């Protein structure tokens, strides 16, 4: 699938004769009215082509959006689809919007050959505006409306409770399809082209899936969903090492085909499994297995914390010998801090709080030296690492309200907010370092 990292509004070139006291005209191409009018116009031109008769009211679009104070150079591609098949595609360029749209649409319909008038309503049109250098803003005809398209997705500029609930239901259905029916663990990757899941059931994603299902069931109780909890938890408990130098840690994954694990013990996997086990303990407080396993995991995490607060992220075994991977990761370190803080909140064991404080001291030191955006051995300064620092300090602040934690949380949050996309016309996602806040990240929905 093609990816377009930037979403740009139509750029209008200013004429040298533009006067400073004139009102600058910039059509808001993210506006529903513009998109709907473009789609209506293209459909009208397509019908005009079929009927071989000019339509009198097609110039309204130009009257609404043209401005003689500025010169424009429209480069437009119109694609026509019938029941999912591309039946015509053509491009045109020109100085005014309507004539260029008309030309591209006529050429598209001609490329598609003879079309019966009674099936034109089944056509869907995609209108792409291209600009130098290779920037694209696209509109697709959907249920008689014009919606903003980015590749194979639609950027939804407004959502409501119904939309959110529909997305939750769709995501839940997808999540459950990724569960192994026998082992009850979850895969990470699904190949949509081949309709195949990967072989490895991953502990961290199984734990995350269980956490999600428990939280979702609290929002909208469902006996069928709740009935899955114990089986997923059983899969997780089976991944925990019971003996050896890394007893208490959780194996990264399990392959049902070979019946073997990975012998790769990751602190992030273990931490996120603790999150889920603590929720299971809350869900079934009469069953001691979940809290016992979470405490054993927490005890192993404590052994992975170095004197300076850094966390050894991975232990591997091969031929009966263990090796440690000593690359520093704020993502893993933050997850460990969160796990220890949550364990302390449930157990009151000061060992967990002491471990959390040791890590927190390191994080505060790194933020003081690097600033709110932090870098580690895996990544340059970035929002993800800083987010984990902030989230882990939030968990710690819940059990230790020291002002320094709140202060650092706010400092990081302020920087992350400055990097958030807030305008409806601009690049998608989070901005690169040292880039000013310019635009809003849209919500995506499938076409």
Q: What are the pLDDT digits (tens) for 16-75?
A: 223 233 333 334 444 677 888 889 889 888 888 766 655 555 566 766 666 544 556 788
Structural domain boundaries enclosing 115: 13-156
Residues 122 and 165 in one domain: no
Cα 375 vs. chain centroid, distance in angstroms?
A: 21
Per-residue pLDDT at 5:
33
Q: Would the pLDDT of 421 be above 80? A: no
- Mean pLDDT, the chain, integer: 83
Domain count within the chain? 2
* pTM confidence score: 0.67
By the 8 A CB rule, do 123 and 117 touch?
Answer: no
422: confidence class by pLDDT, cuts 50, 70, 90: low
Domain contains 132? yes
Answer whether the bond into residue 133 is a cis peptide, omega within 30°.
yes
Alpha-carbon distance of 104 to 86, in angstroms, equals 15
Give strand ranges (E) for 264-405: 264-266, 314-318, 321-325
Of 158-167, 291-300, 394-403, give the lowest mean pLDDT range: 158-167
Q: Which DSSP state fits 24?
A: P
SS3 for 191?
A: strand
76: confidence class by pLDDT, cuts 50, 70, 90: very high
Tell me which of 299 and 326 has the higher pLDDT: 299
pLDDT tens digits along 111-135: 877 777 778 888 889 999 875 545 5
Question: % helix / strand / coil in the chain, to the nearest 5?
Answer: 45, 20, 35
User: What separation in angstroms does the CA of 182 have from each of 166, 186, 228, 257?
Assistant: 28, 11, 12, 12
Q: Would the pLDDT of 90 be above 50? A: yes
Report percent pLDDT > 70 for the chain: 80
Looking at 156, 190, 209, which one is the last position of a domain? 156
Highest-confidence range of 143-157, 224-238, 316-330, by mean pLDDT?
Answer: 224-238
Looking at 156, 179, 201, which one is the last position of a domain? 156
Residues 135 and 194 in one domain: no
Per-residue pLDDT at 113:
78
Residues 139 and 286 in one domain: no
Tell me which of 53 and 425 has the higher pLDDT: 53
Residues 303 and 377 in one domain: yes
Residues 314 and 196 in one domain: yes
Residues 209 and 344 in one domain: yes
Tell me which of 381 and 194 has the higher pLDDT: 381
Residues 167 and 32 in one domain: no
Retrieve residue 431's tokens. Answer: 């901005």
CATH of the domain at 88: 3.30.700.20
Instruction: Write out the H or E segment, with its range, that includes residue 257.
Output: none
Domain contains 267? yes
By the 8 A CB rule, do 427 and 5 touch?
Answer: yes
Phi/psi at 262 (5° precision) = -95, -15
Mean pLDDT of 314-328: 93
Alpha-carbon distance of 218 to 36, in angstroms, equals 40
Domain contains 201? yes
Residues 322 and 346 in one domain: yes
Per-residue pLDDT at 134:
53
Domain contains 394? yes
Per-residue pLDDT at 190:
83
Per-residue pLDDT at 131:
58
CATH of the domain at 245: 1.50.10.20
Per-residue pLDDT at 4:
33
pLDDT tens digits along 358-399: 999 999 999 999 999 999 998 899 999 999 999 999 999 999
Q: Which residue matches tokens 């709740």? A: 226
Q: Would the pLDDT of 431 be above 80? A: no
Domain contains 225? yes
Q: Would the pLDDT of 438 be above 50? A: no
Identify the bridge partners of residue 141 per DSSP, sorted by sequence position: 146
Identify the bridge partners of residue 165 per DSSP, sorted by sequence position: none
Residues 352 and 410 in one domain: yes
Phi/psi at 315 (5° precision) = -120, 135
Residues 275 and 339 in one domain: yes
Domain contains 7? no
Strand order of the β-sheet with 201-202 is 201-202, 253-255, 260-261
Residues 245 and 359 in one domain: yes
Q: Would the pLDDT of 15 be above 70? A: no
Domain contains 398? yes
Residues 146 and 165 in one domain: no
Looking at 126, 156, 186, which one is the last position of a domain? 156
Domain contains 6? no
Per-residue pLDDT at 294:
98
Per-residue pLDDT at 28:
42
């Amino acid at each position: 699938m093609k990816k377009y990292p930037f979403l740009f509004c139509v750029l209008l070139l200013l004429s040298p004769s533009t006067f400073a006291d004139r009102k600058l005209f910039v059509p808001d191409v993210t506006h529903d009215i513009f998109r709907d009018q473009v789609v209506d116009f293209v459909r009208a031109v397509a019908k005009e082509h079929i009927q071989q008769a000019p339509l009198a009211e097609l110039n309204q679009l130009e009257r609404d959006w043209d401005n003689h104070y500025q010169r424009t150079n429209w480069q437009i591609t119109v694609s026509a689809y019938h029941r999912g098949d591309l039946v015509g595609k053509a491009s045109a360029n020109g100085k005014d919007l309507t004539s260029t749209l008309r030309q591209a649409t006529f050429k598209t319909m001609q490329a598609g050959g003879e079309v019966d008038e009674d099936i034109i309503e089944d056509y869907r049109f995609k209108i792409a505006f291209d600009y130098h250098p290779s920037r694209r803003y696209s509109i697709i005809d959907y249920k008689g409306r014009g919606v903003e398209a980015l590749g194979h997705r639609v950027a939804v500029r407004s959502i409501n409770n119904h939309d959110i609930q529909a997305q939750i239901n769709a995501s839940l259905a997808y999540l459950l399809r990724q569960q192994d029916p026998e082992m009850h663990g979850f895969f990470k990757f699904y190949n949509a082209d081949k309709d195949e899941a990967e072989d490895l059931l991953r502990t961290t994603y199984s734990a995350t899936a269980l956490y999600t299902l428990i939280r979702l069931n609290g929002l909208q109780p469902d006996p069928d969903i709740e009935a899955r909890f114990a089986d997923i938890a059983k899969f997780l408990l089976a991944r925990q090492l019971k003996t050896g130098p890394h007893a208490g840690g959780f194996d990264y994954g399990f392959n049902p085909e070979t019946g073997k694990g990975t012998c790769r013990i990751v602190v992030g996997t273990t931490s996120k499994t603790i999150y889920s086990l603590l929720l299971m303990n809350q869900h079934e407080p009469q069953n001691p297995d979940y809290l016992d396993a979470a405490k054993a995991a927490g005890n192993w995490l404590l052994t992975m914390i170095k004197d300076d607060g850094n966390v050894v992220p991975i232990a591997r075994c091969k031929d009966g010998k263990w090796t440690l991977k000593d690359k520093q990761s704020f993502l893993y370190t933050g997850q460990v801090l969160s796990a220890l803080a949550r364990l302390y909140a449930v157990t009151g064991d000061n060992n967990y709080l002491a471990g959390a404080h040791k890590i927190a001291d390191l994080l505060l030191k790194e933020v003081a030296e690097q600033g709110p955006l932090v870098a580690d051995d895996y990544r340059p300064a970035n929002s993800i690492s800083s987010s984990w620092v902030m989230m882990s300090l939030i968990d710690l602040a819940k059990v230790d309200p020291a002002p320094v934690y709140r202060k650092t949380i706010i400092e990081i949050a302020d920087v992350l907010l400055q990097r958030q996309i807030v305008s409806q016309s601009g690049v998608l996602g989070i901005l690169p370092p040292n880039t000013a806040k310019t635009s809003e990240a849209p919500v995506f929905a499938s076409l």
